[in-house]
Structure 1
Amino acid sequence: MKTLTCMLIAAGALAMAATSAMAADSPEATWLPATAAASFQNATAIVEGANGANVKSTLYVFMDPNCIYCHLVWKALQPYEAAGLQVHWIPMGFLKPDSAGKAAALLEAKDGAALLKQLETHYSEKDESGGIVPLAHVTAADQSTLDNNIKLFQDLGFEGTPTLIYQGSGGRWADVGGLPKLSQLPGMLNLPAQPVTDPELQRYR
C-alpha cells in the first residue's frame, strides 16, 4: 500500500491527469470525473453540520484523526456549518499508530458528530494528536471500512490529507488538497462568506 502523509497541499488526482488538467473553481483544485461521485458519496463517513431542509451545500473530506491540517479545516468550516453546510468526514487511519483506533472510535460512536467535535476541540497541536481515546481493539469490520476508505482515496488519485471534494461550476465535483485559503471557502461552498475569527486561522486568509 502506498505510504500516505499528512500534508498542507496534496498533489491530487494524478491518476486522472487528463481529466484534471482543466482548472476548477479554486486555483489549487482539479475536476473529478462525473463517474467518481457515487464512490465518495457512498463512502462511510461521519456527517456533521446542517441536515434536512437546512442543507445548502455539501462537502466531502478525507481525513485522519491526528492530521493537524484536517483539524484546521474543521475549525475553518464550523461557521459555514452554521450557515447550511453539511460535511461528510471520511475517516482513514494511517498517520500514527493510534490513528486507526481513533478512526474506529468515530465509526463506533452512537453520535459520531459529537465525538468528532470532542476530537477536534481537544486536539493537541503540540503533539499533533486528536483529542479522543483510541479503541484498544479495531474490529475486522471497522478495519475493513478504513481500508476501503483508503483504497477509495488512492483510487481517486489523492495523496495527502485533508482532501476536500466540493461541487463546483455546473454541478461538477472538484477536489482540493490541504487547507484552502479562507477567502476561497465561500466560492467553493457556494455560501456567503462567514466570519472566521479563530486566531490560529488568520494566517490562512
Structure 2
Amino acid sequence: MKQSTALSAAAFVEETRFGNWFLRTPTWKISVLNRALADLQRMLPPGKTFAQVLDTGCGFGLSFAELARCFQPERIVAIDPAPGLQERAGANAAACPCTVELRTDNAAQMSFPDATFDMVFCHQTFHHIVAQEEAMAEFFRVLKPGGVLLFAESTKKYIHSLPIRLLFRHPMHVQRTAPEYMEMVRKAGFDLPNANISTPYLWW
C-alpha cells in the first residue's frame, strides 16, 4: 500500500456521525455497494479488466476488495477530501490484493495528469460534492481514451426525503434528478447510451 497527499480546497459536505457509522455496516456493503457494483458490472463485457482504477470518495475503503475482485486492477488510487483518510481506509487498503494508493484530494480539482486511469468508480459520492460539474469534467479528463466511468448515485427526491435529511448531511442546493445527472454526464463528454443506464432502486 502506498500513501500520498495532494492538498486542495475541499468542495464537499462532510457526513454526519450516523452516516459514517452506516458506511461501515454490512447493510451498506451488501445492500448498497455490492448491489450497485453487480448492476454496473453487467453493463461491461464479461471478464473485462482495468489496470488503473480511480475510486473517488472512497470513505472507509469497503470498495477496495470488491473492485479488486471484479476488475483485477494492478492499482487502485483512492481519493477522499475528508481528513484522516489513512486512519479510516488504511486497514482495507492494506488487506486489498492489489496496490492501493490513498490520496487526500478534491474530485473537482484533482492532481492527476490527463489520461491516467482505465476506470473511474464513483459510488454514492456525488451527492456530497458541491462542484459537481467540475468534478464530472475532471473524471473525463483523467480517464484514458476508451476508459470507463462507473457512476452510481442517489437522486434529488431521495436525498430530500425526510429520513435522509434527518440522518445524513448533504449540500441540498446541488442535488439533481436522474435526467439531470444523465445530462451532466453527457455534457462532460461521455458517451452514455440508454443501454448503459439502470434505475432499479428507490434511491434513484
The alignment's TM-score, normalised by the length of structure 2, stands at 0.30
Instruction: Tell me: higher relative CO, structure 1 or 2? Use CA pairs within 8 A at least 6 residues apart.
Output: 1
